Amino acid sequence: MNETLSVWSEWIRPSAGLATVQWSILLALATMAGHLVNRFAGLPKVIGYSMVGALAGLAGFTGAAWPLQGIGLFLLELGVAVVLFEAGGRIPLRWFRHNPMVLVQSLTESALTFVLVYWVLRYIGLREGVSEALALLAMAASPAVLSRVAMDTRAAGPVTDRALVLSTLSTLYALTLCSARASMLPRGDDSIASTFYPVMVVLGLSVVVGSLLALTLRVALRVMSPTSENTAILLLALIAASSALAANYGGSAPLAALLGGMILMQLNPRPWSWPRQMGTASSMLTMLMFVLVSVVAAQADWSGPVAGVVALLIVARIVAKITGVAIGNVGSGASWRQALWVGCAMAPMSSVALLLVSLYVAASRSLGGEIASGALPLILLMEIFGAVLATVALYRAGECSRPWQRAPRATQPAPLNES
């Protein structure tokens, strides 16, 4: 691919740069692939996006070099922040007051995922720092992938709602803990006992930025219509500004957006739908985010030893998610069958995990490189196969209004009745 692009660059001089042309073509191909996968296989469009990005990354696409930095890193942060703001806006805190076992279920599955993955990685000989980081990353499910799966399959019901809530909460835990642990690496302090203060710093700053975002939007919604195009532009601009502020002052940009969505949900409890313009912008950012993640993750080392570690990690993570949801299911109001499908629906990983790996690499190149060698293949595989498993789970739970079937083949017209 690099040789082809070098020949191409000799005779083409686009005004916006060759990288812009490459990304435009790649996104166009991803859009078509997503449509074809959804139409002919009945699978979510995100699988098509990820497959195109993975093929481009394996072919040597140079538009997204690892580790991410500059505009690429900001676009990833912005895409994650927009998705998590929307996910946070779907979580009513009153639900936890009426059914606190849902919060217990969330804490149980996240804690069990960390413990089991950490134990498995230590058992096969990975060093402590790498095992801990990968176990923290494994906690995070992907509300972005799961929401796209639910949208494309038209899924709605208790399993879908609970899986989205538990995925969002697990992301909150992983963002807080990973951001705090990564901030400790440059100081050479890796003891778990000294993590409390960095966690409070990350969480406190993110709460402050998220509160400012929610309060500003609450004031804006008093004088602006939620369905207005201007409200959509204001929302995107404020999320972008809060992301830059949170990251600059030691907080977490995605965590601030997630908390901002949750706080706004409490300040403005009446339902408000995102305007159509915001939906289009959000979809474009989300598609770019999925393609960017798969392009970067495909550049990982795919050697035999790494494949073995990733396979064990995937199995341990899925088993821990299902078991943790089942253990916390007692008194939560869901059946055991629903708990099984909720655990399966939490399999996907995507942009949040990649963003956290970037934090580790920026904090320590040596340790971050070891973490990335196992995390990048895991992220790519769970973005694709995790979306498939989530699709199967939602269909088996009976919550998809769209039937899972391939597009009908063209048939020969029946012969006319001569009579």
Residue 155, φ and ψ in degrees, nearest 5: -90, 140
* pLDDT score of 408: 45
- Contact indicator for 363, 136 with CB cutoff of 8 Å: no
168 Cβ partners below 8 Å, 6+ apart?
84, 87, 88, 90, 91, 143, 258
Query: What single letter denotes the amino acid at residue 110?
Result: S
In angstroms, rounded to a whole number, what is the distance separating the alpha carbons of residues 49 and 36?
Answer: 11
* 400 DSSP 8-state letter: B
Q: Which of 109, 233, 253, 106 is nearest to 179 (CA)?
A: 253
In angstroms, rounded to a whole number, what is the distance separating the alpha carbons of residues 75 and 77?
Answer: 5
Residue 400, φ and ψ in degrees, nearest 5: -100, 120
- Is the CATH number of domain 2-396 3.40.50.150? no
Specify burial of residue 411 (Cβ count, 10 A radius: 0-12, 13-18, 19+).
Answer: exposed
Q: Which residue has the tokens 């939560």?
A: 332
* pLDDT score of 185: 80
- The CA-to-CA distance between both ends of the chain, in Å, stands at 63
Residue burial 298-320, b: 16+ Cβ < 10 Å; e: rest:
bbbeeeeebeebbeebbebbbbb
Written as tens digits, the pLDDT of the chain (419 aa) is 555 555 555 555 655 566 777 888 899 999 999 999 998 888 999 999 999 999 998 888 877 778 888 788 888 888 899 889 988 888 877 777 888 888 989 999 999 999 999 999 999 999 998 999 999 999 999 999 999 999 999 898 999 999 999 999 999 999 999 998 888 887 766 666 677 788 888 889 999 999 999 999 888 888 887 777 788 888 888 988 888 888 777 788 899 999 998 888 888 766 555 555 566 677 788 888 999 999 999 888 888 888 899 999 999 999 999 999 999 888 777 788 889 999 999 999 989 999 999 999 988 888 888 999 999 999 999 999 999 999 999 999 988 877 776 544 444 444 434 33
- Contact indicator for 267, 94 with CB cutoff of 8 Å: no
- Contact indicator for 133, 72 with CB cutoff of 8 Å: no
245 Cβ partners below 8 Å, 6+ apart?
209, 251, 256
Question: What pTM did the predictor assign?
Answer: 0.88
In angstroms, rounded to a whole number, what is the distance separating the alpha carbons of residues 137 and 353?
Answer: 6
Q: Which of 288, 384, 282 is nearest to 24 (CA)?
A: 288
- Which helix H or strand E contains 107, and what residues bound it? helix 101-123
* pLDDT score of 272: 55
Q: Which string of DSSP letters, residue by residue, matches 53-73?
A: HHHHHHTT--SSPSSP-THHH
117 Cβ partners below 8 Å, 6+ apart?
131, 134, 135, 138, 313, 316, 317, 320
Question: pLDDT (tens digit, 9 = 90+) per residue, 259-290?
Answer: 998 888 888 766 555 555 566 677 788 888 99
Sequence spans of domains, the chain: 2-396
* pLDDT score of 366: 86
Specify burial of residue 372 (Cβ count, 10 A radius: 0-12, 13-18, 19+).
Answer: buried
Radius of gyration for the alpha carbons in the chain, expressed in angstroms and rounded: 22
